[in-house]
């Protein structure tokens, strides 16, 4: 009887606009107290969930993303991308995808990527006569690469929950991420020719070299993070710490768009974001722990066995559930609520957790663009001052492309498992 009451309360609180971290924390406390469990045990449960060395990487990646977003890195990457692909019709759209893909490999955050690149490119695209719906849609879609291309905060949190190798998960997102970037660029080229978008002026050799040299310090960050991890020199948490330090130094010394007086405010913003994420993690994991104890996960396994559902049928069903949840919940919340519930089913059906992680993250990319809660939609609206209807219209074609990618990755596991297997060996 308690489970239906809790689920009803969960959706009522969400509909009332209560922040998700408060909803999950409140429900965790309610269900524990209702079963007569001492509050001290709840505190111990919180402490157990926090006792994760990998979890240390979360605030460090968030802080690195905060400095990258404000420190002039985005402009350097846009200039570099423009130098390479700028002399063609609709070039600013292609520049957007290239810049967001590279920025994603630095920040690990979709929202930070959309904000940093969008703040510069949306005004430029409007000035050059690009339709506002196309401009916002392209930035929003490109921004989703932030949680697929490594390092990815979503992959990191999934790895913590599943007790999976985070380096493997990071590599698993590379091939699907590159495919996504390519199909976006192909769509932009088609749209540009169909709508006769402007051609950008050709840059001279000196400008080309200057743009590439200026971007080199920014490219140090993914080199340090991914190179350090895959060479075995540093762990995930140590790489996150190095990325935060390098992000601060690059922003202060090379690009100088922030000064020493800005360091504390940027750090404070990173700490606030981390606090919300940690609250969501604590509440969701404790709530999921209670659901497991209440027999929900065992019931799911029993239903799968009784229905004779195979792995492909379950993946199709899971995609529909994740798509639905993503329309109403924030990305991290979906991961933390849904994954613990289906872990026994995944293992029972023999689904590769690395493959499932990539399928999950692509679903969450789509969720970032799907009303009513798609975060990137509201970020783009605030940057562009465009009506939300225009923003939604702009992301529509990209959602269709991403759904195609989702089907491809779901039914071709090798797209996500081949590269990790080549680097680390099959298991």
180's CB contacts (< 8 A; 6+ apart) are 145, 148, 365, 401, 402, 405
> Rounded CA gap, 171 and 312, in Å?
23
Which pLDDT score, from 0 to 100, does residue 79 have?
81
Candidates 73, 67, 77; CA nearest to 260 is: 67
Which pLDDT score, from 0 to 100, does residue 78 have?
80
pTM to 2 decimal places? 0.84
CA contacts within 13 A on the Cβ side of 222: 22
**pLDDT tens, per residue, the chain with 427 residues:** 566 777 788 778 877 777 777 777 777 777 777 777 676 766 776 677 666 666 777 788 888 877 877 777 778 888 888 788 767 777 888 888 888 888 877 776 777 778 878 888 888 888 888 899 999 999 889 888 888 988 888 898 898 888 888 889 999 999 999 999 999 999 999 998 888 887 777 777 888 888 888 888 888 777 777 788 777 778 878 888 888 888 888 888 887 778 888 888 888 888 887 777 777 777 777 777 777 766 777 777 788 778 888 889 899 989 998 888 887 777 887 888 788 888 888 988 899 999 999 999 999 989 888 887 777 888 788 778 788 888 889 999 999 999 999 999 999 999 999 999 998 888 7
Domain edges within the chain: 52-424
Which pLDDT score, from 0 to 100, does residue 2 have?
66
Handedness of CA 116, 75, 400, 127 (dihedral sign): positive
Candidates 354, 272, 278; CA nearest to 66 is: 272
> Rounded CA gap, 65 and 53, in Å?
20
List the beta bridge partners of residue 199.
89
- Whether the CB-CB separation of 128 and 160 falls below 8 Å is answered with no
193's CB contacts (< 8 A; 6+ apart) are 89, 90
Which pLDDT score, from 0 to 100, does residue 367 have?
87
């Amino acid at each position: 009887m308690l489970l239906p009451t809790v689920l009803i309360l969960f959706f009522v609180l969400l509909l009332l606009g209560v922040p998700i971290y408060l909803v999950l924390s409140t429900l965790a406390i309610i269900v524990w107290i209702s079963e007569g469990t001492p509050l001290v045990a709840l505190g111990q449960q919180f402490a157990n969930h926090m006792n994760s060395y990998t979890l240390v990487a979360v605030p460090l990646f968030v802080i690195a993303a905060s400095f990258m977003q404000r420190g002039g890195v985005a402009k350097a990457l846009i200039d570099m991308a423009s130098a390479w692909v700028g002399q063609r019709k609709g070039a600013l759209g292609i520049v957007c995808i290239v810049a967001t893909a590279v920025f994603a490999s630095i920040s690990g955050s979709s929202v930070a990527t959309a904000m940093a690149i969008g703040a510069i490119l949306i005004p430029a695209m409007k000035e050059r006569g690009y339709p506002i719906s196309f401009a916002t849609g392209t930035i929003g879609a490109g921004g989703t690469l932030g949680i697929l291309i490594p390092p990815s905060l979503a992959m990191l949190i999934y790895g913590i929950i599943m007790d999976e190798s985070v380096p493997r998960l990071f590599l698993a997102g590379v091939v699907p991420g590159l495919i996504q970037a390519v199909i976006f660029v192909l769509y932009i080229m088609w749209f540009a020719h169909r709508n006769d978008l402007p051609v950008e002026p050709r840059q001279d050799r000196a400008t080309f070299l200057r743009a590439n040299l200026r971007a080199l310090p920014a490219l140090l960050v993914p080199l340090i993070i991914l190179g350090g991890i895959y060479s075995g020199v540093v762990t995930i948490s140590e790489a996150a710490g190095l990325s935060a330090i390098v992000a601060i130094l690059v922003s202060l010394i090379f690009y100088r768009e922030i000064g020493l007086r800005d360091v504390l405010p940027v750090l404070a913003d990173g700490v606030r974001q981390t606090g919300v994420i940690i609250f969501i993690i604590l509440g969701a994991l404790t709530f999921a722990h209670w659901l497991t104890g209440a027999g929900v996960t065992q019931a799911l396994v029993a239903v799968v066995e009784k229905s004779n559902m195979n792995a492909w049928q379950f993946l199709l069903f899971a995609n529909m559930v994740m798509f639905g949840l993503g329309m109403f919940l924030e990305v991290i919340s979906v991961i933390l609520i849904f994954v613990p519930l289906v872990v026994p089913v995944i293992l029972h059906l023999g689904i590769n957790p690395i493959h499932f992680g990539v399928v999950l993250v692509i679903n969450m990319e789509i969720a970032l663009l799907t009303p009513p809660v798609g975060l990137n939609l509201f970020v783009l609206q605030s940057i562009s001052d465009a009506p939300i209807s225009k923003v939604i219209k702009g992301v529509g074609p990209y959602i269709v492309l991403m759904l195609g990618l989702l089907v491809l990755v779901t039914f071709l596991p090798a797209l996500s498992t081949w590269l990790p297997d080549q680097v680390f060996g099959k298991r």
